[in-house]
Structure 1
Amino acid sequence: VIYINPPYAEATTAKTVTGTGKNKSGVAIQNKANQYFKSKIGSATNEVFALFMAQVYDKIQDGILAQFSTLKFVQGSNFDKFKEYFKAKYLGGFVVPANTFDNVKGEFPIGFTIWNLNAKVKIEQIICDVYDRNGEYIGKKNFYGNLPDSINKWIVRYQNDFNIQLGLLVSAAPDFQHNNQLAILSKQQERYCFNICKENLIISAVYFAARLCIEHSWLNDRDQFLYPNDGWKEDTEFQNDCLIFTLFHEQNKISCKHGVNHWIPFTEAEVNAREKFDSHFMSDFLKGKIKAESKENLFEENPSGDVSSSFSSALNPSNRGEKEGFSARADGTQVTSSPNATRLQAPAPLSFSPEAQAVIDAGRELWRYYHSKPNVNVNASLYDIKEYFQGRNQQGKMNFRSNDETYNELIANLREKLKTLAKKIEPKVYEYGFLKR
């Protein structure tokens, strides 16, 4: 029986991932074990505890291994090769918050797991008892090792570099731990960014909302977001809920300081703006005046990854009109091209659930209050409005609160309504396979 309490040091850090720092020196790589196991367990050699496990498995193949460690070796996306090598029968275990251990920071689960090394079983799924920081039993938790492809492999299939860019979706590793890196921006970053255009706006919103509608906790920290099933494609209420969630979420950091703001969800009249907006794209989109694609092609994936065929109708409007039997007027209305009749069709606005409408209403009140102030930028985004009222500290970071109590009440109301909408979206995230319970 081998009992180990290995260190949790890892070569990569959050700063490594974001491109603002380097790997920790001397972690895992400066030893013979790393060189020996690199070909066997791949990038898992960056984790010291994984090297401990591999060494025990290599030297004592008929023992019982009991250990404290993270659960990365079960559910981590970098441990696929490790799981091909380390095959053992799970006998039981529990998880607790990591920061209940001395000198361990961060909110993630530490597991005590027991393995029979003599039984060569690939890790598919384990169930652990869960205890809180006070030692109270609070339930059970599934950890999966047989997960499908990630949500990032899904979203990239809708990449579109050909049409007008509305914004950029910052790439982040597909787990809760990295959700704080997820954002919608106006300006290109060093890291990979997904182009948002009218053709993939709904898909981008589904991705954004699926990842952020459930709050991060120590227990779900390493849970992976997955390639969904097709159920979401027919659920327009879910899609519209996700769009509104995305428009009013605070990790949507679109700013008019970095170009035209296409994300204003209201008209000038709705918010009493003193001047015309530079773009009416989003309010027109919500009113149904802008059609991204025919439903037949909107959610079509291209296995080759070449979006030129998936979005061919968007790139060739004349072909699209001929195929679908309509042409578009400048005001967004459509005219059927049937040889027997020409009939004007008014655009149908998007329909919203009561929860989504409550978010829109709360947002409108915030925009109106902003536009009641003198000398404001009429093209301001939600991020710009927050910056206007909250200001920044000496380090350049946005302050958490404003001295304007009316604004504080309005933004608090918007956040409350957004949380209610998030709760509505959450069950569909599991139903459509973006997460596993």
Structure 2
Amino acid sequence: MGEKKFFNLPVNTYLNVWLDRPKPNSTEVVPLKNTVSPYTSKKYLNKWSDNAVAYVWSQNNDLQHTATQTALFSSVWGDGHGFYVNSENLRQASVVFSVRRLIKPTWINDRDQFLQPSEPLTDEFKNDCLIWMLFNGSNLTASANDLEWNDKKWSIVNHFIPYTEEEVGAPERFESDFMVRYLADKQLSPEAVAVLEAGKKLWQAYFTHTDEHNVRDELKLNRADVGWYQIRNALKRRNESGDVVPVSFTEFETAYKLLTEKLQPQVYELGFLRA
């Protein structure tokens, strides 16, 4: 039987204090409790930050919590406990997001704390983390109009679409091309490119049909610049309905699994977790 090692390390070595957290400004935004649902509790965070494009919920620093308390939103997570994302900290943000989500908690490791990296991070690792985050199930960025909160209607904008309108056959312009511009000068690994290409086919498939009213209402599909959460769930609803030719996720899932398997050992090799 093997032995489990425990490390008593100072909190200033923890991952959750690794990156600089942009400060909020006075701009009010709609707080969210999930992808497109406004927050309903009495205490909430509803301020944005200069040049922010997203918000990462990253509560707690141990493995047992990070699996359920790590997500990316297009507005603030109403309960706070996270940080704003802008072009300056996006690479760090994607590393933090991915590292917190890549390793599954077990009864053996669930109390382990995430640490700041002990080795230099390559551009390939950072870019792999960015693509992995963009297509993770906890990327809850979205675009939607008419979200009702605090007696007003609000809109949220998705800045995390890695394709142009022409590439995916969108019928209208996207409000933001932030991610396309951000990726333009990045050299991606073959594994990351495979995920991007497989994801593009799913985006294209989404725009070939218009969903039923109840699906459009549930997922707030009232804009062209929808997010990954909206895309994949709309396609799954279509597959379940039997009304259209099913869209296969196999190519995407295979590519994403290969990228995941590439990144997982690096969480330990780079010092984010200790075995």
Partner of 2:41: none
Q: 1:225 to 1:172 in 2, by over 3 A?
A: same
Identity %: 35
Give the TM-score normalised by the residue count of structure 1: 0.48
Give the TM-score normalised by the residue count of structure 2: 0.75
Q: Secondary structure at the match of 1:225?
A: coil
Q: 1:230: how far off? A: 5.2
Q: Contact 2:58 / 2:81 at 8 angstroms: preserved in 1?
A: yes
Q: Contact 2:21 / 2:84 at 8 angstroms: preserved in 1?
A: no
Quick one: distance in 1 between partners of 2:254 and 2:104?
A: 14
1:45-60 maps to which residues of 2 (within 5 A)? none
Partner of 1:383: 229
Q: 1:241: how far off? A: 0.3
Q: Contact 1:214 / 1:422 at 8 angstroms: preserved in 2?
A: no
Quick one: distance in 2 between partners of 1:159 and 1:230?
A: 25
Q: Secondary structure at the match of 2:4?
A: strand
Partner of 1:274: 171
Q: Contact 2:202 / 2:232 at 8 angstroms: preserved in 1?
A: no
Q: 1:192 to 1:158 in 2, by over 3 A?
A: closer
Q: 1:141 to 1:147 in 2, by over 3 A?
A: farther
Partner of 1:283: 180
Q: Secondary structure at the match of 2:113?
A: coil
Q: Does 1:187 align with 2:90?
A: no
Q: Does 1:406 align with 2:242?
A: no
Partner of 2:254: 416
Quick one: distance in 2 between partners of 1:422 and 1:389?
A: 23
Bigger radius of gyration: 1
Q: Contact 1:154 / 1:227 at 8 angstroms: preserved in 2?
A: yes
Q: Contact 1:264 / 1:283 at 8 angstroms: preserved in 2?
A: yes
Partner of 1:202: 91
Give the number of equivalent residue pairs: 226
CA deviations over 1:7-49 (Å, ceiling 9, x no partner): xxxxxxxxxxxxxxxxxxxxxxxxxxxxxxxxxxxxxxxxxxx
1:37-52 maps to which residues of 2 (within 5 A)? none
Q: 1:255: how far off? A: 1.5
Q: Does 1:154 align with 2:18?
A: yes
User: Of the candidates 95, 110, 122, which is equivalent to residue 221 of structure 1?
Assistant: 110
1:65-104 maps to which residues of 2 (within 5 A)? none
Partner of 2:29: none
Q: Secondary structure at the match of 2:91?
A: helix
CA deviations over 1:273-311 (Å, ceiling 9, x no partner): 122111111011111xxxxxxxxxxxxxxxxxxxxxxxx
Q: 1:159 to 1:428 in 2, by over 3 A?
A: farther
Q: 1:158: how far off? A: 4.2
Q: 1:216: how far off? A: 2.6
Q: 1:187: how far off? A: 2.8
Q: Secondary structure at the match of 1:183?
A: strand
Quick one: distance in 2 between partners of 1:230 and 1:160?
A: 28
More displaced 10-residue stretch of structure 1: 250-259 or 145-154: 145-154
Tell me which amino acid in the other structure corresponds to 1:431: E
Q: Contact 1:160 / 1:196 at 8 angstroms: preserved in 2?
A: no
Partner of 1:357: 193
Gaps of 5+ in 2: 25-48, 145-154, 212-220
Q: Contact 1:160 / 1:197 at 8 angstroms: preserved in 2?
A: no
Quick one: distance in 2 between partners of 1:354 and 1:242?
A: 13
Q: Contact 2:59 / 2:82 at 8 angstroms: preserved in 1?
A: no
Q: 1:434: how far off? A: 0.8
Q: Contact 1:150 / 1:226 at 8 angstroms: preserved in 2?
A: yes
Q: Contact 1:160 / 1:200 at 8 angstroms: preserved in 2?
A: no
Quick one: distance in 2 between partners of 1:182 and 1:165?
A: 18
CA deviations over 1:121-143 (Å, ceiling 9, x no partner): xxxxxxxx4xxxxxxxxx44322
User: Of the candidates 133, 140, 144, which is equivalent to residue 7 of structure 2?
Assistant: 144
Gaps of 5+ in 1: 1-128, 130-138, 288-348, 392-400
Tell me which amino acid in the other structure corresponds to 2:208: S
Q: Secondary structure at the match of 2:120?
A: helix
CA deviations over 1:57-83 (Å, ceiling 9, x no partner): xxxxxxxxxxxxxxxxxxxxxxxxxxx
Q: 1:426: how far off? A: 2.0
Quick one: distance in 2 between partners of 1:264 and 1:425?
A: 22
Structure with bigger RCO (C-alpha 8 Å, 6+ apart): 2
